[in-house]
Each structure stands twice: as structure tokens, then as C-alpha cells.
Amino acid sequence: KNRLQGKLVLVTGATAGIGEATAKLFAESKCNLAISGRREERLQSLKKELEKDFDIEVFTGAFDIRDRDACGEFLESLISPVDILVNNAGLAKGVDAVYDASFDDWDTMIDTNIKGLLTMTRLITPSMKQRNSGHVINIGSIAGHEAYPGGSVYCATKHAVKAITEATKKDLHGTEIRVSMVSPGLVETEFSNVRFKGDEERAEKVYKGYKALTAVDIAEIVHFIANRPMHVNIMDTIVFPVAQSSASMVHKEA
């Protein structure tokens, strides 16, 4: 059953990976889309593809989610209120120990994964509250449930996403607004390329020797969560590839 047709779904970080796959699935359900990311060209080509294939409206916003004013301007440009907000934009930078890591990397992760997500939530939830309707779906991580060496700040940002999700649900207690989180393990996207700053060989190694999750695997779960009946609120889902049993236990063929 499609309960999503005609909804406006905002997906942050839709220029790659999980966000792009999620935007495509909502488009298949005949949702209108607002997609964001810094890479304008990718947004434009996704808009073109989805409008042509699904006869929907796609609004694009090429901006850095760390820029609060740009977030606000994009939302003001939308002609109808956002029904579903998928807070997906995020990244890891480096796997350095806390005594070695770069301050810039820390700022980037904190400003994007925590403050960017908070900005969008802060700007969009008032209109959801006014309409007593809406759904916020945050992309967390297994790194929001466990911490691993080299992940002090990335894991901290994802633990923050878990805390923000839980607190947002409680702030909206008694309303019809749903608040959910998806916590993936290893998903093969541009994530490791970004984490290892363009070292492709190192990035590829992360997904070698086992079948990692795909962006579509996670998009299907986001879509499933959104498409539940209005009284059903899925709070969190931890999703691993079958070869993974914890953040750092991954069974790889030699």
C-alpha cells in the first residue's frame, strides 16, 4: 500500500549514496522531492531523471548544510511544507586516534552531522507542529550505538544523532508527528572515499571480502519506516550486512 503519494519529502545529502537511493525510492512512490547537497550538477541530473521518469516535482538546493542561512533560504523557496524530512547528509573524516586527529576534521563532522541535522530539524518541525503532521527520519549509524578506535568524534556525532532523535520524539510527545532513526553498519557508498580523503584503494578495502550493504538496502528501510500507518512510529533500526556483527567485527574472506 502506498501511503506516500503526493507528500513532499526533503532528503539532505541526495547527491550520492544513501540519500540519492532514498530520493529515488520516494520518487517511485510519487512523492515530490526537495533534495540538497553541495554538488549542483548531481542535483540537477537527479532532478531531470526523476521528473521525467515519475512525473513529480523536484526542488533542488545546492548548499552546504553547515550554512544555516542557506538552509533557511532553501526552505523558504519551497512552495509547500515538508511532510517528511530525511536528515541524511553526513560524513566521517579520518580514523585517527583522539591524540592524533585533526581539529578541522572534528569541526567538519560536528558541524555537518550534528549541527546541520539540528538546523534542518529546528527549521522544519515548527510547521509540522502547526499542522500536527510530519515525519523526521534521521540517519544514525552503528557508530551511534558503539564507539570504536579512531572513531571518537564520528561516533560521538552519531551518538548525538541518537540522543537528538530520542529527545525530538519526546519534545513532540502527544502530537501526530513521527520521529525515527536508521542505524546502518557498513554500506558501500562514497562514505569511505570521503573518510580517507580520496584514497580509493584504502576505501575499496573496507568493502572487500564480504557483501556490504548497498545504499538501496538502507533506502528501502527508510521508505518502509515512512510508509507505515500513521500510528506506527519505528524509533530505530540497526542494520548490518550478514557478515558484520558489531562496528568492528566483520567476517571477511581472505
- Cα torsion 24, 29, 87, 246: sign: negative
- Judged by CB under 6 A, the stretch of 12-20, 169-177, 196-204, 221-229 that binds ligand NDP is 12-20
Query: Rounded to an integer, what distance in angstroms lies between the CA atom of residue 214 and that of residue 50?
Result: 20
Query: Rounded to an integer, what distance in angstroms lies between the CA atom of residue 243 and that of residue 228?
Result: 28
C-alpha cell at 137: 527520519
Residue 247 binds which of ligand 8X3, ligand NDP, none (CB < 5-8 A, kind-dependent):
ligand 8X3
Give the binding-site size for ligand NDP (rule: CB under 6 A).
28
143 is an interface residue for ligand 8X3 by CB under 6 A: yes
Residue 10 binds which of ligand 8X3, ligand NDP, none (CB < 5-8 A, kind-dependent):
none
Among 29, 32, 112, 125, binds ligand NDP (CB under 6 A): 112
Maximum distance among all Cα pairs of the chain, rounded to whole angstroms: 56
Whole-number minimum distance, CB 33 to ligand NDP, in Å? 14
Query: Rounded to an integer, what distance in angstroms lies between the CA atom of residue 60 and that of residue 33?
Result: 8
247 is an interface residue for ligand 8X3 by CB under 6 A: yes
Determine whether 154 is an active site residue: yes
Q: Please report the beta strands in the chain, taking only residues with DSSP state E, as ranges in sequence order.
A: 8-11, 32-37, 58-62, 84-87, 135-139, 178-184, 187-188, 213-214, 236-239
241 is an interface residue for ligand NDP by CB under 6 A: no
Residues between 180 and 209 that touch ligand 8X3 (CB under 6 A): 186
Whole-number minimum distance, CB 141 to ligand NDP, in Å? 4
Positions annotated as catalytic residues are 154
